[in-house]
Chains A and B, each alone.
Chain A
């Protein structure tokens, strides 16, 4: 009996050892494979990143070692879908960059470490990245609690933490090495207020917002902006990200008798609310923040999506070269429409490319170059330039849209009819 038990225990130990071994031997695969420098026939020639940035002096070492970017983000867990979108954006950008020879002949690659957007894992990953001399800049993490827990580690090691989805107002205050091209809500919220109050003429607004740091910051800025434009916010309802049922909330909102509903939401929860608005008997127009912009919103909200107003920083049909290039290549590679998370990831990788090209693969030089770089083409901003004091970018593109017959179309100035 005892011998059998011993045998069992030892078999478990052996199995564990085997698992660890397989894990270790698989290590090199963790680096995202980049496409060989053969031009994929599906990508049009225009896809080459425009070279408006003056070529700066860089190291003239003839090396073909890849230059590595560390990515800390969710590949499993509650936020895994966003990590999956990031990968699509990154891979597309890298295809184009490395096809054109990378950075002075060295391919640009990323090392994606899954953190589940969990702070205890982001701090460990941060230590891993700062110790890895191959890594010249870090991107992520996704949510603020996870990103900001790791900031002090990056700051002390002097490795740029580029939080491209971190809109928390205090993220870049974490130190000299915290940078972000996430769209500042101080920019976006007034634009949304403009659309709702000034353009659409809705005076009494009810706001439903995700009760997270992002949703709350946006809502506070939005409410102030509405008041400044002579509007009135008659109800503010914060909901938890895991909420699915909004009927009671909507009944409460209806009792406040608003002219219009404003959603500060992501696409999945925004779609749920949009669906339930109509079944609760509300007829008011819905204006949603640009973060709902995704083909998934149309799919999940179905019929109810029609008539929803939104303004977005990224619109695939916008007639600009950067946008055309990105959207055509994205559709060719993945057979689907990109959303704003993929666009953000793509934009970030292109920006990082230009920065490293100018600064060389050096952590400190990369930080300094971020402060001075100008004119990098961007899907979301047109061109990118940081404010060295806030370490953020301002002035995103802004396009007013309305959903018609299940597609996003540019708003033609028609006022909502239902009131």
Chain B
């Protein structure tokens, strides 16, 4: 029985840490309706600022914390001023891409300055420990809890009782109305970013001290858990974020107690889906209805897509078909093959996220399903590879739609977070379902693609296969979205209430879109699996989902040709920057930011 007490204490301790991150995220999300992917990087910068203070300058704790708070608040102001404010009039999706770019740049800079090696960040608090249950808690645990409680209380008071706080809340409720009432919304945004970033930095340094371990890539996982906690508690609610974090910590801890460590994250993400489905407003909210997020119609701003004449498409197709014959450099051909495979993924994503307006952050999960389905069909059941590919497409369509179905009633950013969780769940199930997937050892010796018994080893053959399939799928998608189906899907994107009033069954059309999307992504994953010959649960990771989203935003949401252009650009750029070695991802981030800044509607424009 004592173990349950210990598990409870453990859960509260880690929940305490999630809370610090979740509060900052809640604040930004609440006011600017923005999933801030740069928050994790600010958190990391906070940790490194703390390290510089402690290890290099040797400041005492209060000064260290002050340094971190001031430094990160300034960073937040800079991010808001130069990264996000210029995108004010741009489609709502552009700032999201900008935060991805900013996060990438900050992370790379930290890595270049401090080296990628983890560093120790020693705690500056006294080392005494308080026995609790059969374990103990330290001064730092109590301090972190105190910081969490105090900052929540101060924030609550600020939002409730000060003029600026009222302005923040007014802006969160209705930005345009606030503007009309004479509120300087730029200043409000700036304040919000300063406070949230200061909190983010503070949590970075405290968590760094807690684990005595900081590294440049520490932000991503932390933000992921922060998001989960925040959504459980209720988006935008600061006390909800704290409560959600503690609850998440407890659930994880009990999950480990019941099933074992490898089920920990699976538990966290399943709980998230359950909460989103049953109480999308968070478990502490009184209403069960999704709030009318002011997203309809504004999420993707209409822009005039770049007009490309038909002969140009035909010419481009002909040139790329002939390319392996002309340019016999298998490095180029391989890179383009990768681009075509990612092009399929982007096609798949642009249909649901661009055309239908259902932002998916879990598309790598679909690749994984397709890849494993085809590999296991070919290896375990001896299905011929072409048939396995086709079956993999259908399996992914069915399974993917089924998995995403619970998220159909969600809107806007909630869909994004739900799909992110679903993507993680797919990876974790693959890791844990050893009987079928061979767990972490992975699937070895996947046969190569073949064409009527003739194995396709050749780089050019692979190129032609992926290019042809991609072009055929693109044509099919274009044909489908050109007429009735496309109009219905776009109607759902623009205003789902109006669409329903016109007799469009939301679930059926979303189901159709996700099924087609699943088929395309599944095929891409399957071809990839046969090309690699070895896959495991890490082959198709969350980074790929983010990359796919970046591709379609860059190309222009819903734009079929844009999706392919985006894929070629984002697969090609890091290869082009090879010569600058360690700096290439930094360069890639900067280019991304510039593209968003000057072409927020995407290279080819939204459709």
Contact = CB atoms under 8 A, between A and B. Distances in A.
Interface of A: 8-9, 11-12, 15-16, 19-20, 22-24, 26-27, 29-30, 75-78, 80-81, 83-84, 112-114, 116, 118-121, 123-124, 126-128, 130-131, 143-145, 148-149, 151-153, 156, 168, 170, 173-174, 208, 211-213, 215-217, 237-240, 242-249, 251-252, 254-255, 268, 271-272, 275, 279-281, 296, 299-302
Nearest to B441: A213
B221 interface: yes
Contacts of A217: 441
A247 B580 contact: no
A30 B532 CA distance: 27
B594 A15 contact: yes
A145 B215 contact: no
B536 A123 contact: no
A30 B583 CA distance: 11
Contacts of B213: 244, 268, 271-272, 300
Contact of B212 (A15, A124, A174, A300): A300
B125 to A, nearest CB: 14
A29 B598 CA distance: 32
Contacts of B342: 120
B431 interface: yes
B135 A280 contact: yes
B3 A75 contact: no
Chain A contact surface mostly: helix
B117 A281 contact: no
A327 to B, nearest CB: 19
A184 B329 CA distance: 36
B7 A251 contact: yes
A83 to B, nearest CB: 8
Interface stretch (B10-18, B315-323, B496-504): B10-18
Contacts of A279: 129, 135-138
11 contacts: A22-B580, A75-B582, A145-B442, A148-B444, A148-B534, A215-B440, A217-B441, A245-B14, A248-B252, A281-B133, A299-B119
B441 A216 contact: yes
Query: What are the 9 A-B residue pairs with the smallest beta carbon separation, nearest first?
Result: A80-B116, A149-B532, A148-B534, A247-B10, A248-B256, A127-B334, A128-B331, A281-B135, A81-B116
A8 B531 CA distance: 41
Given A12-B598, A77-B585, A216-B441, A268 B539 contact: no
Interface string B4-46: 0011001101100100000000000000000000000000000
Scoring B108, B441, B571, B584 by chain A CB atoms within 10 A of each residue's CB, the highest score goes to: B441
A248 B135 CA distance: 11
Contacts of A212: 440, 538
Contact of A143 (B11, B538, B543, B587): B538
Give the interface size bracket for B toward A.
35 or more
A84 B532 contact: no
Contacts of B119: 299
Contacts of A11: 598
Contact of A239 (B252, B257, B262): B262
Interface string B531-554: 111111011000100000000000
Nearest to A132: B331
Contact of A27 (B11, B571, B579, B598): B579
Contacts of B10: 245, 247-248, 251, 280
A252 B257 contact: yes
B120 A299 contact: yes
B384 interface: no
Contacts of A299: 119-120
Nearest to A212: B440
Nearest to B117: A81
Nearest to A299: B120
Contacts of A213: 440-442, 536
A217 B252 CA distance: 26
Contacts of A251: 3, 6-7, 10, 135, 257
A363 to B, nearest CB: 16
A170 B445 contact: yes
B578 A123 contact: no
Nearest to B9: A247
Contacts of A174: 533
Contact of A247 (B13, B265, B448, B585): B13
A333 B431 CA distance: 42
A238 B257 contact: no
Interface string B562-590: 00000000010011111111101101000
Chain B contact surface mostly: helix
Nearest to A267: B118
A81 B457 contact: no
A81 B115 contact: yes
Given A131-B331, A255-B3, A80 B598 contact: no
Interface string B315-357: 0000000000000011101110010011000000000000000
Given A131-B329, A149-B539, A302-B122, 11 more contacts: A23-B577, A24-B579, A123-B334, A131-B330, A153-B459, A211-B440, A215-B440, A245-B13, A275-B211, A279-B135, A280-B135
A275 B212 CA distance: 9
Contact of B533 (A152, A215, A252, A280): A152
A151 B459 CA distance: 14
A49 to B, nearest CB: 27
A130 B330 CA distance: 9
A272 B211 contact: yes
A363 B14 CA distance: 53
Contact of B599 (A12, A130, A168): A12
Given A123-B334, A302-B122, A114 B116 contact: no
B134 interface: yes
Contact of B120 (A27, A131, A153, A300): A300
B264 interface: yes
A15 B42 CA distance: 27
Given A213-B442, A248-B256, A144 B135 contact: no
B261 interface: yes
A252 B440 contact: no
Contacts of B131: 281
Contacts of B129: 279
A396 B310 CA distance: 64
Given A255-B3, A272-B213, A124 B338 contact: yes
B111 interface: yes
B439 interface: yes
B578 A30 contact: yes
Contact of A20 (B134, B265, B576): B576
Contact of A252 (B117, B138, B256, B576): B256
A163 B252 CA distance: 37
Contact of A81 (B118, B264, B531, B536): B118
Contact of A30 (B459, B533, B536, B579): B579
Given A237-B261, A247-B135, A123 B532 contact: yes
A26 B136 contact: no
A170 B252 CA distance: 34
B444 A170 contact: yes
A301 B256 CA distance: 23
A114 B534 contact: no
B136 A281 contact: yes
Contacts of B539: 119, 145, 149
B584 to A, nearest CB: 7
Given A131-B329, A237-B261, A152 B448 contact: yes
Contacts of A152: 448, 457, 533
Contacts of A211: 262, 431, 439-440
B301 interface: no
Interface in B109-149: 111, 115-120, 122, 129, 131, 133-138
Nearest to B253: A248
B447 to A, nearest CB: 11
A237 B260 contact: yes
A296 B575 CA distance: 32
Nearest to A129: B331
Contacts of B398: none
